[in-house]
Structure 1
Amino acid sequence: MSVVEIKEFGDADQLVPSSRPVPEPSDNEVLIKVSYAGVNRPDVIQRRGLYPPPPGESDIPGLEVSGTIAKIGASVSTYNIGDKVTALVGGGGYAEYCTAPVGQCLPVPPGFSLEQAAAIPETYFTVWSNIFDRCELKSGETILIHGGTSGIGTTAIQLAKAFGAKVIATAGSDEKCNACMELGADLAINYRTEDFVEKSKAFTSKKGVDVVLDMVGGDYIQKDISTLGMDGRLCFIAFLNGPEASVNFMPVMLKRLKITGSTLRARSKEFKADVAQKLQNNVWPLLAGKKLQPVLFKTLPLSDAAEAHRLMESSKHIGKIMLKVGD
């Protein structure tokens, strides 16, 4: 089968076409004939040599796919050959065929194309497990979402609004701020020209926000703590500006804050299957009703994976970057 692999760690040109044997599904896996694969920031970090795949996972990048089931493992009873699915995978998405644990597969939502379906797993699993499970965001609360036009950001804005929260989003241009507002944000802040701490406090009548979803880190950490109100929750899912900062923790005590964070890729299959079930129960009906939709920015052929990574690193995109693999 055709794949795109990482020749050596480094820049986007290290993504090169290659050929690999078609993988065999284990008893609790399915083999998917891949139609589309999502491009995500962890793929870029892996390519740079800073995010190795967990033991037992493919070294081929790609954490989400859609396509048609080509083969099922001996213990699989919930899907059949020919079913169209989307799946969260631990690696291997940039390929014509990819195996996936059956518990991490979900049916393509009614009315969705395979291209749209492939844009769902990585961001929806991440957002649900962090915003709703870890931070327990509730209807009526206010959440600050950094990187509002990223794949994570566009998903988080829509999901938070769908479940009754007020949403503040940050973005790096007026155009991106407008995109956040169109997705349902109540306030969008251009972090290049405005102070998100000041603007967020004004929006909340100085009470502060209830939840912050941060993928930036670095000098944002102290600002996030300042932005939170009493009993607020701060969740880290990435550190684009670095994981270290000089922080005054006194407000954490005085405001009874909770600071947490997580990565998804290394979590157990059982954990991911549990999140998949929550998504199917709570989110799939909203997708089927067109109340939520992934935001697609650009789709490129698998052979142009390097260009897709360059686009991701430019931060010029609004929403998801996709790779077309097969029919």
Structure 2
Amino acid sequence: MNRYIINRFLVAIPTLLTISLVVFVVLALAPGDPMGELATNPAITAEVRENLRRSLGLDRPIYIRYFKWAIAFIKGDLGYSFVSRTPVRDLILQRLPTTLWVVGSAYGLAVLVAFPLGVISAIKRYSIFDRLATTFAFVWFSLPTFFTGLLFIIIFSVQLNWFPFIYKSTLKVTDWPSFVAQIQQSIMPVCVLGLYQGAMLMRFVRASVLEQFDRQYVRTAYAKGLSQFAVVRRHILRNAMIPVVTLVALDIPAVFTGSLVTEQVFRVPGIGALLIESIYRSDTPVVMAITIVYAMLIVLFDLIADLIYVLLDPRVQYEK
């Protein structure tokens, strides 16, 4: 097992380096200039802008800039933002709690909705409940999050005036009223993102559980006189969760990237909003850091999924 984990990390290193190289070259060749905002400032002369460009290393060739960034990143130095001159680490840490709160709550909602609906739909297949759950899943999965987000704002903020339609980044949870306000402003982005992910996960859970009902071991369990609840709990779920674990593990990083649109719609000051702002401003250090963090999350949760296989199915062994 230890050898397998080491090999996976050894494979992940060139993968991450390749991703970082591709992203860095694309950003370097893309139109846009981090010094562009200074061009409209009459107090900043061309000589000052050139000195700033030289101090940021923007006058050097792409490959030199990339190697300097890669060496600094390996040492744990994420660099400084070209625009705000703030350490990139500080910018990410400022936005991270908000993203974790929204994304974590959304995926928790997705799991709470998807697993019971998926299992019950598989048990009661072709029933009214199954048709309603399937319709719910298809509707929510077919609608993009920016549309449902705007729909939520129109209905629950503009018409009913239940929730604020803009996320207040200055709100600090210090007492019970502020905690309630935090919950109120989080409900709509959490529901939009959570129901979208839950719809996709529910269909996958249903298909995975339904596939197990026709297996020989299930018919044997019924022949022994076990109740349906016992068969589902002790036999079907354990085997059905193996492919679901893969989806859940790989879906968690996807929720972070998928929250980009939701954060923009509700003005949530998370990492996604920071990434969009940095792309507009050609702030390469910030974009590179967030991109690599997303890539590392995918590699990490892919490894976690493989390790959970062993817990769910003892027959799975990793020799290499």
TM range (shorter): under 0.3
Larger Rg: 2
User: RCO (CA 8 Å, sep 6+): is it higher in 1 or 2?
Assistant: 2
Q: Which has the higher strand share?
A: 1
Kindly indicate which of the two structures has a greater share of residues assigned to helix. 2
When the two structures are superposed, what TM-score results if normalisation uses the length of structure 2? 0.23
